[in-house]
A = this chain, B = another copy of it.
């Protein structure tokens, strides 16, 4: 994004987020500014700025005695986050359907779907390039929100995506190992087509409905992921999700 003049606080924010997502900092841990600063190679001042941002984004929680801890999430909280994404994408789809002026606006979306078609080719038993799939999928969803032309919605969407497991592609890497993988992707791709079609024909209601359904796929995947603990490892930020009944140890 901003390659050259990368400010210290941005480096801290990105670096810290990466550390959290990679699970190198366990959920619930209290963060030591000094240690973190050393680890990230930044000073405490920009680090504290980054901490404030990540708290606002919901990845950290401020502790009463001062300082921050890494938030952890229950299964229901994750599900709600995914549901929220569905709502926001639904609203974006509706607005897109209402506001798209001509076919030119949909170029990017059409291109994404076409490329996705090639990747999830039903004739092949397996999807090969998951990385490319992820990229295209994210581009599709990003473009969808962009088409809504609503700054407020865009901001809310970005905010919702701060929770990594709410991302549209959160479960793709997981699917790479799931048996029903290809089937799920075909479903998803069908929905992409339906969504595109609804937007093209200006049918806001249907577009919203399809987009919400689309997010429900992720919900289904969530519970299958929660089954095995090492499936969580595959999820971005999976280490932040706590398995309820399994470990009822009190945190803090």
Chain A interfacial positions (CB closer than 8 Å to B)? 9, 45, 48-49, 52-53, 56-58, 77, 80-81, 83-84, 87-88, 91, 150-153, 155-156, 159-160, 163, 166
Contact = CB atoms under 8 A, between A and B. Distances in A.
Interface of A is mostly: helix
Contact of A152 (B91, B150, B151, B160): B160
B80 A153 contact: yes
A152 B45 contact: no
Contacts of A87: 87-88, 91, 153
A153 B76 CA distance: 12
9 contacts: A45-B45, A49-B49, A53-B56, A80-B152, A83-B150, A84-B152, A87-B91, A87-B153, A156-B156
Contacts of A156: 84, 88, 156, 159-160
**Could you say how many copies of this chain the assembly holds?**
2
Contacts of A166: 152
A9 B58 CA distance: 18
A240 to B, nearest CB: 13
A52 to B, nearest CB: 5
A84 B157 CA distance: 11
Contacts of A151: 77, 80-81
Q: Which of A49, A84, A150 has the most CB of B within 10 A?
A: A84
Contacts of A153: 80, 84, 87
B49 A150 contact: no
Contacts of A45: 45
A232 B138 CA distance: 39
